[in-house]
Amino acid sequence: MGFVAKEHVVTGDHGLVAQFIRNDSLLAPRRVATYFSISQSYASWIIAQVVLYSLLIVLLFEGIFLSQHFIDIFQEFADEVGSLTDAMMLVVLTAPEIHFVIPVAVLTAVYLVMIKCRERRELIVLTGTGLGVQQFAVLAFVFGMAALSMSLVITGIIVPHTRFAFRSDLFVFRNEAITAGGTTGHFYSFPGYIVFKWPQPGAKDSALFIYQSREGGDDRAISVNNAHVSGSSQREALDLRLRDVVAVDVPNANSQQDEGWPLQIAKLSDCTACAQVDKRVMRIENYALTFDLGQLSHLEPRGIEPGEWTTAELLAISPAPHVGISGESLRKELMDRLVRSLLCLSAPFIALLAVGWTTRLTQGFALPIACGVVLCIDVIDLTIARMLNAGGVMVSVAGVTAIFACILSLAIWQIGARQSALVRPALSKV
């Protein structure tokens, strides 16, 4: 491996070809099998280049994705994220979501490496020794299986756990922010409550507006002129000290409307000396209590969404992490992962086809078209998988697998039919 690379650096573009001619041991020894006759050192050199290019492309997309997601986290979770460290931790947990880039990264890497090999006339040397381009089809299958395995591991194991870790850390950060008193000018949503906190200029404490949704009766709007929040001696609790509290019960969509209530309020507002008191309005001067954060919200266990299920759990190999999830949504998640993984297997073969179609006239758009084909296959197969989803797991898996089998068969057939175009240099000057 190192000898080949060194010879190429010293002698230039034609040095590696000369090395093939001078030393037959580069091709003959250490043959893995009759269907794969390229030496292990040369195959390792090709694999190393493809892996390097793939990693660089994934890192490029990862950097773009994370930089944009960092901004989104600060905007969407500004009231929960208390520090830059918290935000960075949440951003890192979203890094595996970039798994959808793997097919395009593998396709681009294989294309670039094969173009370099073709223009250095290495492919002509291989075909001249009687090996044929099918050797690179075997390498493409190796690249595809490696990418498929990586996709299955990321989508089936890593992503479900990082999604739950993101939700768990966000829950912890939110409780820390609430315990610290919260951030002014933000809405806080809880099951049954919506709280808005706004600052009072010159005052140490802040004011609150709370809207409580109740199923059994009227909703309640609460205005607190002065609110002080402090940590409690109890774990996961906080002490509330409220002053000048006004609570008003308002009819909701489920409660029975009292037709006389709006008129009664109007009469009370017009009356300046009447002593009537509306029972729907409650005033409290001072109010203190220790509030359990678990009454506002609690962390749901992993598995409340299909995306948090591992592939083993979707296939019922491992126990289900949560109950109550519809089987249709679980099948949809499983088929999405299968389609993305099979797309990784097809990407290297599409790259070989793109190399065969690359000439001086098509070199500017052969690779973009190949990437577009991969994206179109992704969309079409996901659509077909959703259409077959109603028929059950076996029907969906069989249908998607058959589609990709046809794609691979067509690609291999075209690679063999365009072998001369694949190995013949088309960009460099002869």
Query: For residue range 116-168, what is the model confidence (pLDDT) as tens digits?
Result: 988 888 888 777 766 666 777 888 898 999 999 999 999 999 999 999 999 98
Q: Measure CA of the first residue to CA of the last residue in the chain; give whole Å.
A: 28
Q: What is the mean pLDDT of residues 193-209?
A: 68
Looking at residue 57, what is its pLDDT? 94
The C-alpha torsion from 196 through 202 and 238 to 87, rounded to 10°, is 60
Compute the distance between CA of residue 124 and CA of residue 133 in angstroms, rounded to an integer: 9
Looking at residue 238, what is its pLDDT? 63
Q: Which residue has the tokens 């949809």?
A: 332
Range from 21-25, 171-175, 188-192 that averages highest in pLDDT: 171-175
Continuous segment of H or E residues that includes residue 262: helix 260-270
Please report which confidence band the pLDDT of residue 385 belongs to, taking 50, 70 and 90 as the band edges: confident
Q: Choose among 206, 188, 190: nearest CA to 198.
A: 206
Please report which confidence band the pLDDT of residue 428 belongs to, taking 50, 70 and 90 as the band edges: low
Mean pLDDT for the chain?
Answer: 76
Share of the chain above pLDDT 90, in %: 26
Q: Where are the domains of the chain?
A: 2-175+311-423, 192-295
* Residue with more model confidence, 26 or 304: 304
* Contact in structure between 195 and 79 (CB atoms under 8 Å): no
Q: What pTM did the predictor assign?
A: 0.72
Compute the distance between CA of residue 412 and CA of residue 140 in angstroms, rounded to an integer: 10
- Would you state the structure tokens that stand for residue 335, as one six-digit string? 């088929």
Q: What is the mean pLDDT of residues 401-427?
A: 87
Compute the distance between CA of residue 306 and CA of residue 194 in angstroms, rounded to an integer: 28
Looking at residue 270, what is its pLDDT? 46
Looking at residue 274, what is its pLDDT? 42
Looking at residue 391, what is its pLDDT? 78
Please report which confidence band the pLDDT of residue 184 belongs to, taking 50, 70 and 90 as the band edges: low
Looking at residue 268, what is its pLDDT? 40
Compute the distance between CA of residue 339 and CA of residue 364 in angstroms, rounded to an integer: 29
Query: For residue range 267-305, what is the model confidence (pLDDT) as tens digits?
Result: 444 444 444 445 567 777 676 666 666 666 678 888 899
Looking at residue 233, what is its pLDDT? 52
Residue 351 has pLDDT above 90, yes or no: yes
